[in-house]
A and B are shown apart, each in its own frame.
Chain A
Amino acid sequence: MSAPLTYRYDIDGENFTSAGEASVKVKKALRQLGFSQDVIRRVSIAMYEGEINMVIHANGGFAEVSVYPDRIVIVLDDKGPGIPNVDLAMQAGYSTAPEQIRSLGFGAGMGLPNMKANTDEMTIETEIGVGTKITMTVKVGT
């Protein structure tokens, strides 16, 4: 197995202005690598939602995107509060986003469902008070 091409980003939890920047960089990189519109779109959506969640709910974290010949793997790792009830969090419409965040257009409770819908595999490892690690795979059609 050849070593994947890997992109790493620190996601700043304080900075709403730059939120989404890592996702935009990944989108540009994938476009340069010649991936299909569909793959780029799915990775962009999944990564953006995960990136924003780390900013809003976990005070930032670390993102790693690995490009393999047959798949793209996105890992989002934070040291936030953890997710008490993952099944509940996965439900469309469930959100704990505070009011000032909602006024910016977040808090529909659609981020995690979007991540699930746009990836072929998604696993959430989370521990209260320790953090959350989300791994998502988008298969690249051959």
Chain B
Amino acid sequence: MTVFELKERLSLTPVSLPDPEREVTGGYTGDLLSFVMGSAQSGDAWVTIMSNVNVIAVATLTDVSCVLLAGGVALDEGVAERAVAQGINVLSSPLSAFELCSKVAEQLS
């Protein structure tokens, strides 16, 4: 499933979508960046409520397929532009992290 397909199926709102055809191969959730750094895998959809610019660096370095902002969180000022520039997909959802994870897991199974 691609990031674009995931967006359609879960009614996600695109915040930055430079690479919609990227394949989603798994999922990870967490807000503490060094946990994410150590555990998220390439291709994962990363569900988080963190909104600052460091999210983009971590997403770039872990090579996740997309960042999914849960709980209706919006990115901090200027961060979306950075995501676009770095080629990082970011989408948001009003669902809680728990609900969003369960929906992502459903799609992946």
Contact = CB atoms under 8 A, between A and B. Distances in A.
Contacts of B62: 41, 44-45
Contacts, number: 71
Contacts of B63: 37, 41
Contact of A24 (B34, B55, B57): B57
B38 A23 contact: no
Contacts of B32: 105-108, 110
Interface in A1-59: 16-17, 19-21, 23-24, 27, 37, 41, 44-45, 48-49, 52
Interface of B: 31-35, 37-38, 42, 50, 52-55, 57-58, 60-63, 86
A66 interface: no
B53 A48 contact: no
Contacts of A110: 32, 34-35, 37-38
Q: Which label, helix, strand, loop or mixed, suits the secondary structure of the B interface?
A: helix
B97 to A, nearest CB: 14
User: 10 nearest interchain CB pairs?
Assistant: A20-B57, A110-B34, A108-B32, A105-B33, A44-B61, A114-B38, A105-B50, A111-B34, A108-B34, A48-B61
Given A110-B34, A114-B37, A104 B61 contact: no
Given A27-B61, A41-B63, A44-B61, A17 B53 contact: yes
Contact of A19 (B35, B50, B54, B60): B54
Contacts of B33: 52, 104-106, 108
9 contacts: A19-B54, A20-B58, A37-B63, A48-B37, A52-B33, A104-B33, A105-B33, A110-B37, A117-B38
Interface residues of A, number: 27
A23 B57 contact: yes
Contact of A105 (B31, B38, B61, B86): B31
Interface centre among A52, A105, A107 (most CB of B within 10 A): A105
A108 B54 CA distance: 15
Contacts of A104: 33, 50, 52, 54
Given A19-B54, A20-B54, A106 B60 contact: no
A104 B76 CA distance: 11
